[in-house]
Every structure is written in structure tokens, then in C-alpha cells.
Amino acid sequence: MNINCLLAATFLLLSSGFGHAAGVIKCTDKSGNVLFTENAYHCSGQREPHALTLAVPSGLNKDRVNYSSPNRHYVSADGKWNIHVEKSLLEGDQDLFRASVAKLRETLDYVFSLMPLRSRTILSDLQFYIMWGEASPNGGRKSGMSYIRKGEPGNYPRLDKKWENSIVIYSAENLMYLDDLWSRKAVFHELAHAWHIANWAEKHPPIYNSWKSAKDGNRYTNVRDIKNRTIKNAYALKNQLEYFAELSAIYFVGGNYHPYDRAALEKYDPSGHRMVEALWD
């Protein structure tokens, strides 16, 4: 598998430590609003179990699910963002449809508000696709997000051709599971891939050299995460593409492992901090 074609692009929460099953409940609160939550305390009345797992499958393989055949149909959500949702989700679970669109809108509003004007203007034209996930009658994934670059469906024919130059959220249900930190980080991570590919070569020297320096200096090894667990090799080390995406997310919206935010990044990895600051200017 050529990671230069794939960007190692599927953000499957590899650095999260989420390898456990989580029981998500679909219910209503006291005001009658539909919730997707793990905490039954927030529920009032009838509860519907929505079993969910965030376990990462062994091996990243975009051909595991065929998104090009049968042809997928989408409905476009109203609003300023270009959000398209798998039509079968609207037909099969309107509550999840509305909730996932609302959450993505809220996340996009937040992360774009923190971007410099030039990148915000350019990236706001991206398309965003929300897939139902494993419950889709045409098949789907349990989690993950990807930036799909122009021409990539030609290299991977099981990708939907409509996805060119877009960010795909593979599971609406998984999106509802993520807390604010994770939803913002995951979306910004993919936006950073889009920004990288739109402007520079994959091995753009400022990015590649900073990543190589961090790797040679044993940074991002044995770092603590937000649950006080040790991550032997943080996802930022995977390659220069993921380094730029991870550091961009940490810089703008925060991360789940050390360095957790912009100030800590500047102290821990000054070269990476300068690189992100310069390339997003």
C-alpha cells in the first residue's frame, strides 16, 4: 500500500488508546430532545441501545468496504458548510441524521473560527460527507475520517468518485460518540492534510525536516495522554504527513497527548511549532 497516495489518511483514532467497546444509548432527555450518550443518567423514558466499538481493525485498507458499488446517494444539508449525508441514514435513522449534521456544523464553526483568514477562506470550499457506518445497507466502517485528494478514487476504485477533494466521516454514530476534543482534533487533522496537499509537495522541506528532527531527537515517544497513559510512539511520528496534521491540530484546537496545546508545543518541539506557525500564516 502506497502511503503517499493514501496520506496514511484514514484517521482511525490510532493515538487515542480507544480500543474498547462503548455502549452508546439512544434516548430522550427530560425536554424530549434525542441524545446519544453512554450515561443513562441523562436519559428519561425509553432507551435504545446503540452498540458501538472504537476498536481499530488490523491494517488500514480503503478497499475493505466498496463505496462505489452499489452507487451511494446523498442528501445535502442546509447551511453554510458543504455537508452531504448518506441518504440511507436519513431514511433509516432521522434522529442520528439530524444529530450528526448538527455536531459536524458545530465542530466546523469552531475549528474554522481559529484558522487564519487565508486558509479559512480556501478550505471552507471543501465538501464534507457523513456516512451512516456499519448500519448502512450498503456496508460501512465503524469509525474514521479521511481527506480524499483529487484523483484518489482513480487509484482506489472502491472509493466514491464524488469524494474527490473532500473530508469523509465514515460513521455518524462514531461521530456522536466523540467528545469535543476528539471531534475537533479529528476534523482539524483532516483539514491539515487538505491544506498540506493543496499547497506543497508531500516532502515539503520545512515539514519533512522538522519531522525528521523530531524523530531523530526521540520526541513524541513515551508521552502521556489525557488519561495519564503512556503512548510509546505518538501518531505524529508516523510520517511527515501525519506530523504536520497532528501538530496543526495541537496548535489550533489541542491534542490528546503531550504536548497538549500550543504553549506546550512551543516548549517541547520548537521546530515543529515554528513550522506550523509559518505554514498556516
Rounded distance between C-alpha atoms, residue 195 and residue 177, angstroms: 26
Average pLDDT over residues 182-198: 98
Fill in the DSSP letter of residue 106: H
CA dihedral in degrees (226, 222, 247, 212; nearest 10)? 180
Rounded distance between C-alpha atoms, residue 235 and residue 127, angstroms: 25
Q: Burial-class residue 143 by CB neighbours within 10 Å (0-12, 13-18, 19+).
A: buried
Rounded distance between C-alpha atoms, residue 272 and residue 259, angstroms: 11
pLDDT digits (tens, 9 = 90+) for 112-162: 999 999 999 999 999 999 999 999 999 999 999 999 999 999 999 999 999
Range in 2-16, 249-263, 267-281 with the lowest mean pLDDT: 2-16
* Predicted local confidence at residue 207, as pLDDT: 99
Fill in the DSSP letter of residue 14: T
pTM of the model: 0.83
- Percent share of the chain, pLDDT over 90: 77
pLDDT digits (tens, 9 = 90+) for 15-50: 343 333 344 556 666 666 666 665 555 566 554 444
Give the DSSP H or E segment for 251.
helix 240-252
Rounded distance between C-alpha atoms, residue 36 and residue 242, angstroms: 30
- pLDDT of 250 over the 80 cut: yes
* Predicted local confidence at residue 281, as pLDDT: 83
- pLDDT of 91 over the 50 cut: yes
Nearest to 211 by CA among 226, 224, 196: 196
Backbone phi, psi, residue 119, to 5°: -65, -35
Range in 11-20, 203-212, 222-231, 243-252 with the lowest mean pLDDT: 11-20
* Predicted local confidence at residue 48, as pLDDT: 45
- What's the mean pLDDT when you consider all of the chain? 87
- pLDDT of 177 over the 90 cut: yes
* Predicted local confidence at residue 13, as pLDDT: 46
Q: From residue 280, give the alpha-carbon distance in Å to each of 15, 172, 262, 263.
A: 24, 29, 13, 16
Q: Locate 152 and state its grid cell.
A: 484518489
Give the DSSP H or E segment for 223.
strand 221-224
* Predicted local confidence at residue 17, as pLDDT: 39
Q: Say if CB 86 and CB 131 are below 8 A apart.
A: yes
φ/ψ bin of 254: left (φ > 0), alpha (ψ from -120 to 50), beta (otherwise): left
